[in-house]
């Protein structure tokens, strides 16, 4: 979702990087916390939508720098100072070429390699800049679980309860770097090669099976066993997929526009049941 840049946004680009052209730029509005001005192939302008996102920008800048030292992919590291106007911050970051992979397909080899490389990142240099697990939507509190449970059809209730029961088991997993949102548009490919990864704001020390789960949401759940480094992480990835489906329900229940739950249930129901089957097969 993009639109032509306003004059104020193009002027912002000029203030941050006066050496680069910003006329005729477009603004990508797909991000929940930031918009992005694109006008050349040297830099982009990342613009916070809210004061809360502005407050997180210095941490994000530091984190991207540190990650770039350990990963061989292009990352959107800063190439200007942070500029704050009327409480909203912006920064120029390096342009990362490429585009999203076609959904529901993909060679599992580079995806498996990415999962391995993320697991090999040293966390100690990053620990002051990493987000917390569940930073995006918050933890599964008893009240949140109950609200979802009450909205579920009878045939999904026992499966969903089994998934929530897995949270303690998942919390005991050895932690490594989890990106937090390995969706298609955060991964840039050129001629079939993964060249860059965007938006590390939610990166944290968490269960590495989440990386496999995120990748499978875009590339296909039939690839899980080929992406995961072992059967145990594949099993946990499937459990996480079920919990992500329940997250979607939780989000939907906060809306005020009377969303159609029946349509959502048809989509998430099979994932919840598949995840519960994976949970039921784990060693005790």
Q: 122 in a domain, yes or no?
A: yes
Share of the chain above pLDDT 90, in %: 93
Co-location of 155 and 219 in the same domain: yes
Co-location of 23 and 121 in the same domain: no
The whole model's pTM is what?
A: 0.95
Contact (Cβ atoms closer than 8 angstroms) between residue 85 and residue 45? no
Co-location of 51 and 86 in the same domain: yes
Q: 101 in a domain, yes or no?
A: no
Co-location of 131 and 234 in the same domain: yes
Domain that holds residue 84: 2-94
Structure tokens at 203: 């990166």
Co-location of 46 and 183 in the same domain: no
d(CA 6, CA 37): 10
Return contacts of 234-238, CB within 8 angstroms, 24+ apart.
234/209, 235/209, 235/278, 235/281, 235/282, 236/170, 236/173, 236/207, 236/209, 237/209, 237/210, 237/212, 237/213, 238/213, 238/274, 238/275, 238/278
pLDDT for 282: 72
d(CA 27, CA 38): 6
Q: 251 in a domain, yes or no?
A: yes
Co-location of 69 and 150 in the same domain: no
Residue in 13, 186, 177 with CA at minimum distance from that of residue 98: 186
Q: How confident is the model at residue 118 (pLDDT cuts 50, 70, 90)?
A: very high
Structure tokens at 5: 């840049």
Co-location of 209 and 159 in the same domain: yes
The size of the chain, in residues, is 284
Contact (Cβ atoms closer than 8 angstroms) between residue 38 and residue 5? no
Q: 102 in a domain, yes or no?
A: no
Stretch 169-197: mean pLDDT, rounded?
Answer: 96
Query: Residue 229: is it exposed, middle or buried by C-beta count within 10 angstroms (0-12/13-18/19+)?
Result: middle
Q: 100 in a domain, yes or no?
A: no
Co-location of 141 and 197 in the same domain: yes
Q: Is the pLDDT of residue 167 over 80?
A: yes
Q: How confident is the model at residue 221 (pLDDT cuts 50, 70, 90)?
A: very high
Q: Is the pLDDT of residue 240 over 70?
A: yes
Co-location of 132 and 44 in the same domain: no
Q: Is the pLDDT of residue 259 over 90?
A: no
Residue 70: count other Cβ atoms within 10 Å of its Cβ: 15
Q: 26 in a domain, yes or no?
A: yes
pLDDT for 256: 83
Q: 182 in a domain, yes or no?
A: yes
Last residue of a domain, one of 65, 94, 123: 94
- Spatial neighbors of 28 by CB under 8 A, at least 6 apart, are 1, 2, 35, 36, 38
Co-location of 140 and 67 in the same domain: no
Q: 103 in a domain, yes or no?
A: no
Q: Name the packing angle between helices 154-165 and 231-253 (round to 10°).
A: 120
Sign of the C-alpha dihedral computed for residues 39, 90, 180 and 119 taken in this order: positive
Q: What CATH number did the domain enclosing 251 receive?
A: 3.90.1200.10
- pLDDT tens digit string along 133-159? 999 889 999 999 999 999 999 999 999
Contact (Cβ atoms closer than 8 angstroms) between residue 84 and residue 57? no
Sign of the C-alpha dihedral computed for residues 185, 34, 137 and 121 taken in this order: positive
Last residue of a domain, one of 94, 116, 136: 94
Give the count of domains, the chain. 2
Q: What CATH number did the domain enclosing 90 receive?
A: 3.30.200.20
Co-location of 260 and 149 in the same domain: yes
Co-location of 43 and 79 in the same domain: yes
Q: Is the pLDDT of residue 106 over 70?
A: yes
The mean of the pLDDT values for the chain is: 97
């Amino acid at each position: 979702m993009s639109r032509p840049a306003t004059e104020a946004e193009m002027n912002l680009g000029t203030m941050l990087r006066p050496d680069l052209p910003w006329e005729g730029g477009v603004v990508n509005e797909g991000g929940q916390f930031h918009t992005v001005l694109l006008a050349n192939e040297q830099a982009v302008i990342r613009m916070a939508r809210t004061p809360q996102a502005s407050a997180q920008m210095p941490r994000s800048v530091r984190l991207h720098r540190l990650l770039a030292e350990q990963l061989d992919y292009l990352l959107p590291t800063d190439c200007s100072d942070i500029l704050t106007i009327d409480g909203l911050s912006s920064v120029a970051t390096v342009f990362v070429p490429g585009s999203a992979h076609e959904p529901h397909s993909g060679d599992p080899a580079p995806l498996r390699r990415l999962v391995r490389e993320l697991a090999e990142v040293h966390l100690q240099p990053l620990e002051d800049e990493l987000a917390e697990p569940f930073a995006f939507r918050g933890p599964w509190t008893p009240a949140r679980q109950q609200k979802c449970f009450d909205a579920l059809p009878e045939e999904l209730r026992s499966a969903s309860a089994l998934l929530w029961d897995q949270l303690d088991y998942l919390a005991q997993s050895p932690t490594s770097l989890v990106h937090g949102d390995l969706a298609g548009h955060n991964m840039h490919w050129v001629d079939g090669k993964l060249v860059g990864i965007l938006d590390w704001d939610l990166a944290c020390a968490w269960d590495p099976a989440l990386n496999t789960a995120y990748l499978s949401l875009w590339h296909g759940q039939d690839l899980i066993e080929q992406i995961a480094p072992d059967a145990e992480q594949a099993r946990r990835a499937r459990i996480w997929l079920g919990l992500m489906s329940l997250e979607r329900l939780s989000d939907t229940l906060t809306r005020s526009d009377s969303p159609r739950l029946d349509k959502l249930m048809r989509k998430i129901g099979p994932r919840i049941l598949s995840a519960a089957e994976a949970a039921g097969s784990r060693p005790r």
